[in-house]
Amino acid sequence: MNSFFLHLKRLDWVLIGVVALLAAIGLVSLYSSSLHSHDFSNFQKQAIFFGIGIFFIVLFSFFDWRVFRENSFLVLVFYFIAVIMLVGVYFFAPEIRGVRTWYKIGPMAIDPIEVVKLALLVLFAKYFSSRHILMYQIRHILLSGGYALVPVALIFFQPNLGPCLIIVSLWVGMLIVSGIKLRHFLALVLVFTVVFASGWMFFLKDYQKERIMSFFVPYDPLGISWSQNQSKIAVGTGGIFGAGIGKGSQTQYGFLSEPQTDFIFSAIAEEMGLAGILAVLLLYLGLLWRLSKTTLVVQDNFSRLFVCGFSILMASEAFVHVGVNIGLLPIIGLPLPLVSYGGSSFLATCVAIGIIQGMRINPHAGPSMV
């Protein structure tokens, strides 16, 4: 019992507090955007996810993370289960607005993409940590890219561009952290350029092209740039302290597309103002700061790469979401981590944070007890 309370005492409660504050801001925004329709189901479900997520952080802090570091077979099993879940959505997931993305179980939806991101995080940490001094060899770059390519292809043809970008960012970011050579990195940039050009000509659907073109045609108020224009209006009208909870016209009257998910940052900006979005951005910086401190505590490459990879995920998702909301990036549809509505995303994030807590409490690279 004493060891249990000692374990709890050693948790990074500052990090947990940052997670709780980000989730709380998201809940306030979800409640506000539900006022006009009087449908509070998403708010209620997210509040439940919040409680479960905090429990998961504590629960998974007891997980012996070294089992992944030392067992390649287990890591591959986790990866292939995640890939099978992605394949399954083509056959078993309901079609919603022309897209098959989530498994529906009663009132709940399970997004396998969040499982894939967690599996890739573990796999890349394992792969790059065991080949840290061999990253100058092109075959290791190609093989690790193959692990990323399979889920990216499956997600792309759902179709769902946002998560593809995040997975590629995770892979490239971990390559950079692991020490990829500059000429190899430049070669990757060339390959991505060719792939994007080919995708534009042969694979992207018309509405996806329109979303990207809306970034270059920002003054088509009733056409393809409608969503992004409304988002920028919401951000611009928020002022310093916002219109007030439940008083934002863009959020309350349906002008703002998806104010609970893809455009929640704009909803926060409209109703909480500059003060609200600064609080969100500072909390993300606080999250990355606490994660960076963890990399200084851990004593092996696997855990260090795991924490770095998770930081890349959080930073890239937040950057893309905010960039889309303020008109700096084309619309690709991506939630704001820990803030937007979504149980799968919130719980997967909390699981990863729990594992990182375990790495912080037990940083030694000794033999696993599993």
Q: What is the mean pLDDT of each run of 10 residues along the chain (370 residues)?
A: 83 96 97 92 96 96 90 94 93 75 81 95 91 66 88 87 92 85 68 63 59 57 70 90 91 89 95 96 97 91 94 96 89 91 95 95 56
Specify which residues 108 forms β-bridges with.
105
| Residue 349 dihedral angles phi and psi, to the nearest 5° | -65, -40
- Tokens read off for 163: 């998560």
Cβ-based neighbours of 303, under 8 Å, separated by 6 or more: 65, 69, 125, 359, 363
The Cα 282–Cα 284 span in angstroms is 5
Nearest to 260 by CA among 48, 40, 111, 98: 40
What pLDDT does residue 216 have? Answer: 59
Q: What is the DSSP string of 218-265?
A: TT-TTTTTHHHHHHHHHHHT-TTT-S-TT--HHHHTT-SSSTTTTTHH
| Residue 335 dihedral angles phi and psi, to the nearest 5° | -75, 165
- Tokens read off for 293: 């401190």
Look at phi and psi of residue 342 and say left if phi exceeds 0, alpha if psi is from -120 to 50, else beta. left
What pLDDT does residue 282 have? Answer: 98
What pLDDT does residue 209 have? Answer: 57
Q: Which residue type, as a one-letter code, is found at position 126?
A: K
How many beta carbons lie within 10 A of that of residue 28, not counting itself?
16
